[in-house]
Amino acid sequence: MGTHTIMLIRHAEKPSKDGAIRGVTVNGFDDANELSVRGWQRAGALVRFFAPGSESAPARMPRPDYLFAPGTTPELKSVRGRSTLAPLAGYLSLPTSTAFRKGEEALLAAAASQLPGPVLIAWEHHALPDLARALVGGALATPPEWPDHRFDMLWLFQHERDRAAEGVWRFSQIPMLLLAGDSPDPF
């Protein structure tokens, strides 16, 4: 049997369309395909959110054993998913797989479901509902879209372990509440 926990997050904050908020590399150079400064702050805060034994990590947040972010293509150059997970990957000494690209959500869901430990996926928000549906099919009602302005939510999928509920996934939304202005409200 595969994993019992799959966690989905949107990549952290990005540049604004009007250019007022710019994307920057980890070294501070302008890059429209990167996170904004606030995005880098969120990426760093994820370490404490998922760190085993940290006082700020909720007890129900398992430490991920596997990390996934979208791979790039000549048309899709964003590295925001990978950058979102970079501080956590470094802290946990885990690689971030970029073997799947946006549009390959069904393949990613199938691969992630077969892994033996908790999986964390940082993905592009328009494709997260597709990824959720690929994980659970029509068995669970999940939000039909991820709001454009929300970077502060985790979608948690847990597979029931008892025999009576074999094959049943539970879904919940967990507010991250990592940065000022994060909302406690699900969507």
Predicted pLDDT at 4? 84
Number of domain units in the chain: 1
Task: Give me Rg for the CA atoms of the chain.
Answer: 16
Cβ atoms of residues 64 and 91 within 8 Å = no
Task: List pLDDT tens digits, range 139-168.
Answer: 678 899 999 999 999 999 998 655 445 567
Which of the residues in the chain have pLDDT under 50?
Answer: 1, 163-164
Q: Within a domain: residue 183?
A: no
- Domain range for 31: 5-175
Predicted pLDDT at 161? 58
Predicted pLDDT at 166? 54
Q: Within a domain: residue 184?
A: no
Q: Within a domain: residue 182?
A: no
Q: What is the C-alpha to C-alpha distance for residues 164 and 70, in angstroms, rounded to an integer?
A: 35
Q: Within a domain: residue 146?
A: yes
Sign of CA dihedral 95, 99, 100, 102: positive
